[in-house]
Structure 1
Amino acid sequence: MTPADDTEAASGRPSHGDLTGWATDDLDAALGAFLHNPEGLLSAAARAAPDGRRFFETHFTPDASVAGHFTGYYEPEIRASRTRTDDFPVPIHADPPGGIALPRDGIDAHLAGYEIAWLRDEVDRFFLQVQGSGRLIFEDGTTLRVGHSAKNGHPYVSIGLLLIERGIFGADITADALKDWLRADPERGRAVMAENPSYVLFRVVDLSDATGPMGTLCPVTPMRSVAVDPAHVALGTPVWIEVEGHARLCIAQDTGSAIKGPGRADLYHGSGDTAGHAAGRLNARGTLTPLRPR
């Protein structure tokens, strides 16, 4: 226990030592993610910190823990074409001037001329929109990163929850199982996806391959960035999470349409299929402990 932790214990507030796994976590990795925060959320102490453990234990203290619900997200890598072809007939769109307020069903016809690229099917597009960002891989081997630009203003509806309520899936539904079900009967799949009227528009993101995709606040870091509800957890806040084998310090750097409530969090897993499978399996209760500046 640090001297600062002695002070916290005397006051009745939790200390770093109360966080299971704190002593063995790689806090240098957490500091690396924290340093991606915009300048206005960084201090000279952060930029000059000799190591993550000393920085976080000196400058932050745990706040009250909150019981929460954790899921995972990732940056998909999706085959795409720069032009419409028989193999790539489904577009993703840029935001038109003035935006668009139409629901998902039939929106394509009103966005002609704003196509960024073309995907294999509507399932690829739907899940790219759910994730909010992705890396498009073209047949010549070149890539293009796209990120969330705007939405059509309609509320997000979880089709996974709809299918659970209808008895088609149990609570252990995975993203891979849902994709397979949607593709098994394309007409049925399109009808169900249309029940989520929210539609995401994209922009080209100029980030190096060494950098994670752009979150709401800054580029996100695998297994160290979480999406939160900023009405309850301020963006840029260090957050200790404990859920299904994960006990680690993360940084609140992203948001999401389905991430609502004080204990709701979405853990960023990285890019590609392996990260996607792991992210799709995370759907569990846990605890979230924000750290506040001393």
Structure 2
Amino acid sequence: MTSESFELSRKHDSYPKSLEDLPHPPETIYGIGNPEALHLPSIAIVGSRRATPYGMAVAEIAGRVAAESGLAVISGGALGCDSAASRAALDAGGTSIIVSGCGADVIYPQTSSDVFQRSIERDGAVVSIENWGAPPRRYAFPKRNGVIAALSRATLVIEAGKKSGTMSTAEMASQLGRMLYAVPGSIFSPQSVGTNELISDGASIICSERDLEMCIALDYDKLRLTEDPDNSEMGRVMSALVASPTRADELANRLGDSVITILGTLSDYEARGMVIRLPDGRYSPSEEFFNTSDRMVVRK
């Protein structure tokens, strides 16, 4: 890999502040690529190295949806779900950040060399808390998993055995207070024991492409659809309503605005046919909104 390398100490202005949430924040981040990518809104997508065809397909969908929603995809770049998600994000024109368990200048595994290289070339980065040239060592990967969880607002777990590196990432995300999404799998599949357990313990269940899109809309205020450039408020309010029909007071609390402001916005949208008020007082996007092509163009 040939690109500009960087080192970010904890005193550096570009050091990701989210890493300070770790019990033992790394003193230095070593990387190749664009250090500013570490400050983009991002989602970690992780899963089994021995992914099933189902897991690989879900990883590809997840990477694409995240990229089309304007999120950087963070993974370990490992064989299986990690690399599949990162490839799909890159193919969709998104940003990929690889957190390596080796030195940032060491490609491991070699089967993911294209993901490492493209992540750097597409304004993303390959980063590590290990020194330059460090080879893969078993003890380094749990530390790496903590960094993946800390860098991301949410972690999506696709396939994971009960005792696995993927589950260690999920556990750290939970400990750090990050959001946790999990994809259900067959009760007979060893690769889904961990994910099914996460769902049982309260992780947001992702059963479809739309489920992931809705979680991102709600948790990131990121609409996968193009927004009206003349009304920035539409992105925040409509993304929340697309995720879940909501009462005006709950919406105001979620978005940090006054109820009067939100009611005024909702009244305007209702007059324009964009939202409807349900019998229980919640507001929901209207059928007209969903069918209006100029507001529903998927980002390419």
TM-score range, shorter chain: under 0.3
Give the number of the structure whose residues are more often strand, by fraction.
1
| TM-score, reference length from structure 2 | 0.23
| TM-score, reference length from structure 1 | 0.23
Greater relative CO (CA pairs within 8 A, separation 6+): 1
